[in-house]
Chain A
Amino acid sequence: MRLFWRLLGFLRPYRRGVIASLVLAALAIGGTVALPWLTGRAIDQVRPGHHDRHALVLLGIALAVTGLLRLALTIARRLVAGRVSLSVEYDLRGLMYGHLQSLELAFFDGQQTGQLMSRATVDLQSVRFFLGYGLVFLVQSGLTILLGATAMFLLNPGLAALSLWPIPFVIVVAARYGRRGRPAQQEVQQRIAELTAEAEENISGVRVVKAFAREQRQLGRFRHSVRRVFDQSIYSTRIRAFYQPLVAFLPNLGLGAILFFGGREVIDGHLSVGDFAAFYAYLLMLISPMRTLGIFLGMSQRATASGARIFQILDRAPQMTVPANAPPLPPGEGRVQLREVTFTYDGANEPALHDIDLDVAAGTTLALVGATASGKTTLVSLIPRLYDVTKGQILIDGADVREIQLQSLRKEIALVTDEPFLFSASVHENIAYARADASREDVERAARRAQAHEFIAELPDGYDTVIGERGLSLSGGQRQRLAIARALLADPRILILDDATSSVDASTEQEIKEALREVMRGRTTFVIAHRLSTIALADEIVVLERGRVTARGEHDELAKTSPVYREIVEKGLPDQVFLTRKPMEAEAKQVAGL
């Protein structure tokens, strides 16, 4: 129940709209309830033995005027309520998004994107539907039933009781349907999504399927998915087939009671024909609100459950905090110091980094080498404060990263990773990601320095080509060059290249290397690499093993002292040949290898 009030809190900014739409709804319902009564009166004017033409005309006019008033009230109510409902949706979605943006990276490591998406779409949908429409429908239906029933009791209490008894049953049954029907339908959607994923995979993996002549087996798997959709659809259909006719049947018992008992009362002279007709019309009028009330009651239960899941996220406070009045990053040349840094990932038993002490002088380049999972990527993630150290501290130009404004820190650090993430935006927008106001010349200059200009120029719309559209896919090397250009345009004090040249071929790397050499000048650079040619760019090399620094120094020195480093020197020659950098169009055509 507390949760319910909390959900209602989202309506607070729109109290006036909510109240206005309730008042308008109540007035309109008054009109709706008046119509059958007026109709009954009109019929009474023409019953055998009692004619009043004048009254009939007056009643006709009254009916028309009531109809017109209701028209105006309903239009106004729909406009007001619609605006409120859309605003609540807007607020909720914005709040959710803003909150997700404020959470630290570690939060996302522990979450599946799919789960978060489902919170932000499915759950949000059911809450906003409830707050936006559900409440209005609930109140409106409840009020209609209340007023209609009152009118019936006023006309004839006994008959009212006899004809209205199915109402509670209709509401209960409909509420049950509202609770069960929708989740069953959502499960159908879920299974259709699985089916789609299955189809998608087979179409993108068609070469492998054909290569192993596995068409029949894949068809079998697909049939299984199709079957699952069918079974769930039938289950959902059964629910619908059970509840809907039942809900339609129950009010008929009330109508039957009016005919049976009401008919007798008219014969006995206790009820006029007009009242009899009005009774009949009232019950017809109440059928749809009964159904709606029940269904929305069921819905409100689900909305509360969804609300609970949404609040779970909204209540999760950002754990990476910056002190109020934190100063920006002080000016400097980019000296980076790690002091006894230990770091453990959430939920991990072992620290990923142990007692790391490093002092990287401004403007120098440090290479990090080591096997997979030795802690290289973790170490560079700590510098832009993507994670907070578990112990120790990190200083940039003398300031602890935890003591300064996050934005000012990250503006001065650019990161290029091995599988760079690009947004579905134009090439220009992707390169200008860190500096949205960059001109085309700036972007082009950065692209040229990253050896990306040449292939960009050959894309269908050059720098305006939207990535991921029209089936255009960039190769790994091309994506990396775009990411390098993106980092260059940010013009950072500190540059981090995490395996940034792994999927460019040797001759391209050769060209990028020139570019890298130039951009490293005047910046502090961290390089994670496996190729000797890239490592050679560094002033100093640090060898990491299982989260500890086991050796550091210059190339010649390490080649003698560190066995790990020696292995790299011996086997890590740029062992790729003959990819003479060549026609871009060919590269684009060879989409997925074979």
Chain B
Amino acid sequence: MKQSKAQSRRADLRRRLQGTRGRGRKLRGLLVLLRPYRWRVVAMLVALVAATAAQLAPPPLATLAIDDGIIPRDLATLNLVVGAFIVSALVLWGATYAETYLVGWVGQRVLQDLRVEIFSHLQRLSIGFYSRKRAGVLISRLTNDVDALDRLVSDGVETLVQSSLTLVGTAVILLVLDVKLALLTFIVFPLLLAGSLAFRIASADAYRLTRERIAWVTSYLQETLSGVRVVRAFGQERRHERRFAQLNEENRGANMRTVVLNAAYFPTVEFLSALMTVGILLYGGYQAIDGNVKVGVLVGFVAALNNFFNPIEQLSQLYTTYQSGMAALDKIFELLDEAPDLEDREGAVELGRIAGAIDFDDVSFTYRSGDDAVDALRDVSLNVPPGQSVALVGATGAGKSTLAKLVARFYDPTAGRVLVDGHDLREVTQDSLRSQMGIVPQEGFLFSGTIGENIAFGRPDASEEEVAAAARAVGADEFIAQLEEGYDTAVGERGVHLSAGQRQLVAFARALIADPRILVLDEATSTVDIHTEGRIEAGLRRLLAGRTAIVIAHRLSTIRNAGRIVVLEHGEIVEQGTHEELLAAEGRYWQLYRDWAEQAVA
């Protein structure tokens, strides 16, 4: 129930985001994201306004205290002003607390929604999409771009509202205190703004360079640590030290540029502020002597100057944050606009328990990447009865994996039909198809987590006994038992390193526990030690028993045991039959076999 509510909320969000296409969509997109939290946003704005007002209060209160309390010797007024001062300080405390908390809460909530939205969108996209895009770019959408947006929503919004309000508020206060003196103060204003912007633009480049250089340093360090064995074995420590010193030096140089820029900018702002004080004191002082300006106004002016410089500095800083945040939003929307190309059709059928017959009916397939089009399969027709295992044989690029991918419906054929138990794959739901299909990729990809979790990946509700039984069936139990923590041993980046053969065995167990009707398997090419090799052969036999299987085969034993061998060449089936039949036919398979035999004895 909760799940479906979250889902419908997400669907709603998605629909709204898509409705924002066109001009100004980035801002409208942000509004859509903020919509669910609108009351909090309103509260946040109220708190922001209150906090800013409280922050602006002290200088005019000081003016009041001097001109209406101290100089006329009016103690009652002075007490009143001090009371107002304390109240404004308390408001500042409370409002800043509320504002900080609410900005953080709303900002992080929006980012959370956006992350989940991007991720779930990525999951709906087809394998074809993933082959076109580089993984690094996709990850960057979820990390760098969301981070850029993070900076915009956490600091940007707050700064924008608060600094603008402070600036406008201070200007109004100064004008109310004394128009002429205020106008005199505003002269410096454009100068300061222009200077600040120029500084930000220059320092944005400089800071980008420092980030880049430190990233180089860090990745070089990382690499020489991971490759420490090679470094030691070839005795190349000196060279790495020299190179590292060079990168380190470049990093220092890049940082020195920011030091120079900062050394020029910040003291100059301080100096401008001092000059403005001088201007106010001299001009205002003469006015005061002539009785046109009261002393308290002068004190208030000098005190208010502080409120003038900070916002300008912060607003100029916002410029770069805004730019990178918006650019990130652009890229994120571009990704979210990517329409899933393999969605379940309207009225797609739930497949019941299938028998496992596979039919290729005049199937052709062309890969498209950009303007390139590569014909991978041409007019392939193939009927596989339930329970038969088919070994696909042929050179790299002959179309073996394409054929296997079409069975799993990672792609739809360009022409022709792929059928399972007589159902066109485009007419059935992907979930019901894949839940009855086991796929074992060549590299034996494992997720970080324990070995047990990886095996149970195919069926998360599997009990510990079932996991152990699956591992035993494919012969993975032996090496797992030797690990210190058995099935609870962590694998992947932060866990133990498994050999290629061991990963393969775990992948077998993972497929077996899902008890698929159809198995698509890409056999590993690398040899492992004899013992594991034997285990893999036995595990494979166990896995294939009683299932329809499409195997991209590399091992002679697998090929020999297959119910049928299909020889592919340049995207077409050139031969099929059993090992004996094909040898007797003395065709392409026979040639390949003969080549191998010659090598084996060499």
Contacts and interface: CB of A to CB of B under 8 A. Distances in A.
Given A234-B108, A240-B100, A592-B445, A371 B235 contact: no
Contact of B256 (A47, A86, A260): A86
A7 to B, nearest CB: 20
A242 B559 CA distance: 69
Nearest to A471: B134
Question: Which of B58, B119, B230 is most buried by chain A, counting CB atoms within 10 A of its CB?
Answer: B119
A4 B447 CA distance: 44
B112 A229 contact: yes
B267 A71 contact: yes
Nearest to B434: A213
Given A97-B221, A421-B229, A530-B530, A249 B105 contact: no
Q: Determine chain B's interface SS by DSSP, over half rule.
A: helix
Nearest to A200: B139
B460 interface: yes
Contacts of A203: 122, 130, 135, 138-139
A528 to B, nearest CB: 10
Contacts of A477: 525
A578 B395 contact: yes
Interface stretch (A54-62, A140-148, A549-557): A54-62
Contact of A213 (B230, B430, B447, B596): B430
Nearest to B567: A578
Interface size class of A (residues with CB under 8 A): 35 or more
A244 B236 contact: no
B281 A219 contact: no
Contacts of A578: 393-395, 553-554, 559, 592, 596
Given A372-B529, A406-B235, A530-B530, A260 B82 contact: yes
A89 B522 contact: no
Interface string A215-249: 10111001100110110011011101110111011
Interface in B496-530: 499-500, 510, 514, 520, 522, 525-530
A317 interface: no
B62 interface: yes
Nearest to B287: A46
B458 A212 contact: yes
A134 interface: no
A266 B70 CA distance: 7
Contacts, number: 466
A63 B89 contact: no
Interface in A392-436: 406-407, 409-411, 413-415, 417, 420-421, 423-424, 433-434, 436
A253 B395 contact: no
Contacts of B139: 196, 199-200, 203
A284 interface: yes
Q: Determine chain A's interface SS by DSSP, over half rule.
A: helix
Contact of A237 (B100, B281, B395, B437): B100
Contact of B108 (A90, A233, A386, A579): A233
A139 B439 CA distance: 65
A218 B268 CA distance: 54
B1 interface: no
Contact of B599 (A67, A238, A506): A506
Contacts of B529: 371-372, 530
B353 interface: no
Nearest to B524: A593
Contact of A593 (B393, B442, B531): B442
Given A371-B531, A594-B522, A117 B222 contact: yes
Interface in B97-156: 97, 100-101, 104-105, 108-109, 112, 115-116, 119-120, 122-124, 127, 130-131, 134-136, 138-139, 142-143, 147
Given A82-B263, A502-B527, A421 B227 contact: yes
Interface in A38-53: 39, 42-43, 45-48, 51, 53
Given A78-B262, A574-B600, A199 B252 contact: no
Given A46-B285, A101-B237, A277-B302, A237 B104 contact: yes
A255 B82 CA distance: 9
Given A249-B93, A284-B303, A226 B112 contact: yes
B267 A70 contact: yes
Given A120-B221, A530-B530, A227 B134 contact: no
B355 interface: no
B96 interface: yes
B194 interface: no
B585 interface: no
Interface stretch (A289-297, A330-338, A445-453, A565-573): A565-573
Contacts of B70: 263, 266-267, 273, 276
20 contacts: A39-B277, A45-B285, A56-B282, A70-B270, A78-B267, A117-B221, A120-B221, A206-B123, A211-B434, A238-B101, A248-B93, A276-B70, A280-B62, A411-B235, A421-B227, A471-B135, A575-B556, A578-B559, A579-B554, A585-B397
Given A60-B282, A259-B82, A577-B554, 16 more contacts: A46-B284, A78-B263, A94-B245, A121-B221, A205-B445, A208-B441, A209-B123, A218-B123, A240-B100, A241-B97, A249-B92, A410-B235, A471-B136, A530-B533, A593-B401, A593-B522
The 8 closest A-B pairs by CB, nearest first: A586-B397, A237-B104, A593-B442, A67-B274, A82-B259, A211-B439, A410-B235, A78-B263
